[in-house]
Amino acid sequence: MATKTAIQAVKGTRDFYPEAMAFRNWLYGKIRAISERFGYQEYEAPILERLELYAAKSGEELVKEQSFVLKDRGGDELALRPELTPSLARMIAQRQASLVLPVRWYSFGPFWRYERPQRGRTREFFQWNIDLLGSDSPTADGEIVSIGAEFLRSVGLTPDEVVIRLNSRRLMEQKLAEIGIGAEQRLEVFHLIDRRDRMPPDKWQAWALEMGLSAGQLDALTALLGDSELWRESEELQQVFATAEALGVADYLTYDASIVRGLDYYTGPVFEAYDRGRTLRAIFGGGRYDNLVADVGGDRIPGVGFAMGDVIIELLLERVGKRPKLPTTPSRALVTLFSADLYGQTLALAASLRRAGINVEQYLEPERLSKQVRYADRKGIPWVVILGPDEVAAGRVVLKELASGEQRSCTPAEAIELLKAGQVEHASSPV
RNA sequence: GUGGAUGUAGCUCAAAGGCAGAGCACCGGUCUGUGGAACCGGUUGUUGCGGGUUCGACCCCCGUCAUCCACCCCA
Over the stretch A126-158, which tens digit does the pLDDT of each residue have? 999 999 999 999 999 999 999 999 999 999 999
Which positions of chain B lie under 7 Å from any protein Cβ? 1-3, 7-11, 26, 28-29, 31-36, 45-49, 65-75
Query: What phi and psi, each to the nearest 5 degrees, are found at residue A191?
Result: -65, -40
| C-alpha distance across the termini of chain A, in Å | 39
Q: For strand B, is any atom closer than 7 Å to the CB of A394?
A: no
What CA–CA distance (Å, rounded) separates A233 from A252?
Answer: 21
Task: Considering only CA atoms, name the residue closest to the C1' of nucleotide B27.
Answer: A371
Distance B54 C1' – A4 CA (angstroms):
30
Q: For strand B, is any atom closer than 7 Å to the CB of A196?
A: no
Secondary structure of A363-421 in HEC code, one letter for each residue: CCCCCCHHHHHHHHHHHCCCEEEECCHHHHHHCCEEEEECCCCCEEEECHHHHHHHHHC
**CB neighbour list of residue A419: distance below 8 Å, 6 or more residues apart:** A332, A333, A353, A358, A383, A399
Q: What angle do CA A113, A117, A122 make, to 5 degrees?
A: 55
A154/A211: higher pLDDT: A154
If DSSP codes are grouped into helix, strand and coil, which group holds residue A269?
strand
Helix (H) or strand (E) holding A285, with range, is strand A284-289
What count of other Cβ atoms lies within 10 Å of the Cβ of residue A119?
8
pLDDT for A346 equals: 95
- Is it the case that residue A339 has pLDDT exceeding 70? yes
For CATH 3.30.930.10, list the domain ranges present in chain A.
Answer: 18-319
Q: Which of the four pLDDT bands, split at 50, 70 and 90, describes residue A401? A: very high
Q: What is the DSSP letter of A114?
A: -
Q: Looking at this predicted complex, what is its ipTM?
A: 0.82
Q: Which of the four pLDDT bands, split at 50, 70 and 90, describes residue A203? A: confident
Highest average pLDDT, of A181-185, A186-190, A370-374, comes from A370-374
Q: For strand B, is any atom closer than 7 Å to the CB of A86?
A: no
Average pLDDT of the residues in A329-335: 93
Radius of gyration from C-alpha coordinates of chain A: 28
Nucleotide whose C1' lies closest to the alpha carbon of residue A120: B75
Secondary structure of A29-77 in HEC code, one letter for each residue: HHHHHHHHHCCCEECCCCCEEECHHHHCCCCHHHHHCCCEEEECCCCCE
What CA–CA distance (Å, rounded) separates A128 from A27?
Answer: 10
- Is it the case that residue A58 has pLDDT exceeding 60? no
Query: What phi and psi, each to the nearest 5 degrees, are found at residue A172?
Result: -65, -40
* C-beta of residue A175 within 8 angstroms of C-beta of residue A229: no
- Domain A18-319 - what CATH class? alpha beta
* C-beta of residue A16 within 8 angstroms of C-beta of residue A328: no
CA dihedral A96, A113, A211, A233 (to 10 degrees): 50
Task: Considering the domain delimited by A333-420, tell me its CATH architecture.
Answer: 3-Layer(aba) Sandwich (3.40)
Distance B66 C1' – A320 CA (angstroms):
30
Count, residues in chain A: 431
- Is it the case that residue A56 has pLDDT exceeding 70? no
Q: For strand B, is any atom closer than 7 Å to the CB of A203?
A: no
Residues 312-341 of A with CB under 7 A from strand B: 312, 338
Q: For strand B, is any atom closer than 7 Å to the CB of A283?
A: yes
Distance B23 C1' – A311 CA (angstroms):
32
What is the average pLDDT score of chain A?
Answer: 88
What CA–CA distance (Å, rounded) separates A237 from A47?
Answer: 35
If DSSP codes are grouped into helix, strand and coil, which group holds residue A333?
strand
Nucleotide whose C1' lies closest to the alpha carbon of residue A392: B33
Residues 136-175 of A with CB under 7 A from strand B: none
pLDDT for A270 equals: 94
Q: Which of the four pLDDT bands, split at 50, 70 and 90, describes residue A309? A: very high
What CA–CA distance (Å, rounded) separates A110 from A83?
Answer: 9
- Is it the case that residue A77 has pLDDT exceeding 50? yes
What CA–CA distance (Å, rounded) separates A90 from A297?
Answer: 8
CA atoms within 13 A of residue A329's CA, in its CB half-sphere: 16
* C-beta of residue A162 within 8 angstroms of C-beta of residue A308: no
- Is it the case that residue A46 has pLDDT exceeding 70? yes
Q: Which of the four pLDDT bands, split at 50, 70 and 90, describes residue A277? A: confident
Q: What is the DSSP letter of A84?
A: S
Query: What phi and psi, each to the nearest 5 degrees, are found at residue A380?
Result: 80, 20
Among the ranges given (A202-216, A235-249, A322-336), the one the predictor scored with the smallest mean pLDDT: A202-216
Q: Is the peptide bond before A201 cis (omega within 30 degrees of 0)?
A: no
- Is it the case that residue A425 has pLDDT exceeding 70? no
What CA–CA distance (Å, rounded) separates A126 from A430?
Answer: 15
Among the ranges given (A17-31, A369-383, A417-431), the one the predictor scored with the smallest mean pLDDT: A417-431
Among the ranges given (A62-66, A75-79, A299-303, A366-370), the one the predictor scored with the smallest mean pLDDT: A62-66
Average pLDDT of the residues in A255-274: 89
Q: Which of the four pLDDT bands, split at 50, 70 and 90, describes residue A430? A: very low
Among the ranges given (A13-27, A135-149, A162-176, A194-208), the one the predictor scored with the smallest mean pLDDT: A194-208
Q: For strand B, is any atom closer than 7 Å to the CB of A309?
A: yes
Nucleotide whose C1' lies closest to the alpha carbon of residue A388: B33
Nucleotide whose C1' lies closest to the alpha carbon of residue A119: B68
- Is it the case that residue A4 has pLDDT exceeding 60? no
What count of other Cβ atoms lies within 10 Å of the Cβ of residue A3?
6
DSSP string over A220-262:
HHHHHHT-TTGGGG-HHHHHHHHHHHHTT-GGGEEE-TT---S
For CATH 3.40.50.800, list the domain ranges present in chain A.
Answer: 333-420
The amino acid that residue A290 corresponds to is D
Cα A352 versus chain centre, distance: 39
Average pLDDT of the residues in A250-275: 90
* C-beta of residue A255 within 8 angstroms of C-beta of residue A171: no
Among the ranges given (A38-42, A199-203, A296-300, A353-357), the one the predictor scored with the smallest mean pLDDT: A199-203
What CA–CA distance (Å, rounded) separates A256 from A355?
Answer: 57
Residues 222-261 of A with CB under 7 A from strand B: 261
